[in-house]
Amino acid sequence: MTDDNFIVTPWAVIGDVNYDVLMERFGTQKINTPILDRVSKHTGELHFMLRRGIFYSHRDFDRILDAYEKKDEFVLYTGRGPSGNTHLGHLMPWIFTKYIQDKYNAKLLFQLTDDEKFLFNRNLTQNDTRKYAYENILDIIAVGFDPKKTEIFLDTDYIKTLYDIALDVSKRITLSTAKAVFGFNNSTNIGRIFFTSIQSVPAFLESKRQRKPIPCLIPCAIDQDPHFRVTRDVASALNYPKPALIHCKFFPSLTGSDKMSASKSNTSIFTTDSPKIAEKKIMNAITGGRKTVKKQRKNGGNPSECSIYQYYYYLFEDKDEKVIMLSDDCKEGKIICGECKQILAEKVKHFLVKHQEKREEAKDVVDQFMCKD
Ligand code: TRP
C-alpha cells in the first residue's frame, strides 16, 4: 500500500512524503543502475548521496551524460531562496553540486531569489531578503565552489541581464497553467504569478550568452520540480534546450519530520550556530530510541524514525559500512541514544568550526563570485 496523503509544492511540504509516489505524480524518472554506472565511470567514485538514493530522481540526466561523453560543454544551475540563515540541510544539495562541478569540470550559475522570498513571505521586507542573501552567499562560497567556474547573483542585482529571457518565458505561460501547476488563486499577489519566469532564466542564460545550445543540469530538492516543468515546457518555443534535473529528498529536521525548516530554529542547526548551541540542539533531538535505557538494551531502537540517524545518513557519515553498523547496533540495543548523539555532536561541532572559518574567509572573495548588472 502506498501512502498518498501528503502535499509537496515549492513553498510547502505537508505530511509524510512518499518519494516514489511523488516521482510518479511529478512524472520524473528514477536514477537507475545504468545511469549510476555511467556516473561511476566518469567520476571514479559515486557520491554517497547517489549511492544511498538521496539524489534519486531525474529528468533527462542521461542526456547530460551523453553530452559529456561527446565532450560537449554543459552548465550547472542551482539556487537558494534567501528567507533566513543557512542551515545544514541547505548545504546538502550544494555539496553535491560541488562534487558534480569538480568531477565534470562544469560551470555553475547560482541564483539567489531574494525577489521570490519577498513575494512569498508576508513578514520579509526587500531589505531582509537582500541581507539574508548576502549571508547565504558566504555559506555557498564556504562549500568550496571554484571561483573561476562559478557565478553567483541576486535577482534584484542582476535583473537587467535576466529580464529579457524572463519576458520571453512569461509570454508563454498562461494564468491557467500557473494556477494548475502552483495552486494559485484569485487572492494570490501578481508578483508570485510572474516569479516562475525569473527562476527559469538561468536555465537558458548560458545558451543565450554563447549563442548556441548549452545543455543545463539543475540539481535541486524535488519540491522545485514544478518550476522547471514550466521551464521545460517553454524551452523549445524559445529555441533553448530543455534543462535536465536531478532531484534530492529533503533533509530531515531534528524532530524527525520531513523537511528541515529554517523557521523553527530549535529543530534546525544553522551554519552560524556556535558549536555549543549545535550540541545542545542535538542532545535535545527526537530519536527512535526507547523510553528507558533498559528497554533500549533489550528491544533496540528504530533508526528509520530517528532524526539523529538521519543526520549521519544524509550528511555526516560518508562510509556506508559505518552507517550500516550504526543502524544494526541501534536495532540490537548495542548503542543507546546518548552515545549516538554525543558522537554526532562531535562531528557536527568539528564541521561547524571548519565551515565558520571558511565562511569568514569567504568575505574577502565575494566579489570574485558575484555577477551584477
Ligand atoms: N526557489 C528556490 C528556493 O526557494 C531557490 C532557487 C532558485 C533554486 N533557482 C533554483 C533552487 C534552482 C534549486 C535550483 O529555495
Each residue of 209-267: pLDDT tens digit?
A: 999 999 999 999 999 999 999 999 999 999 999 999 999 999 988 876 555 555 566 78
Regions of the chain with pLDDT less than 70: 1-2, 256-265
- Taking residue 263's Cβ as centre, other Cβ atoms within 10 Å add up to 10
Taking CA atoms only, the protein residue closest to ligand 1 atom 10 is: 79
Calpha distance 168→107 (Å, rounded): 24
Computed over every residue of the chain, the mean pLDDT equals: 95
- Kindly tell me the burial class for residue 92, based on how many C-beta atoms sit within 10 Å of its own C-beta (0-12, 13-18, 19 or more): buried
**Cα–chain center distance at 43:** 21
Calpha distance 46→48 (Å, rounded): 6
The amino acid occupying position 67 is A
Res 43: pLDDT: 97
Res 3: pLDDT: 76
- Taking residue 269's Cβ as centre, other Cβ atoms within 10 Å add up to 25
Res 1: pLDDT: 47
Mutate to test the pocket of ligand 1, among 227, 228, 259 (most ligand atoms within 8 A of CB): 227
Backbone dihedral region for residue 85 (phi beyond 0: left; psi -120 to 50: alpha; all else: beta):
beta
Res 254: pLDDT: 81
**Ligand 1: which atom is nearest the Cα of residue 202?**
9
- Taking residue 69's Cβ as centre, other Cβ atoms within 10 Å add up to 11
Three-state DSSP state, 32: coil
Taking CA atoms only, the protein residue closest to ligand 1 atom 7 is: 79
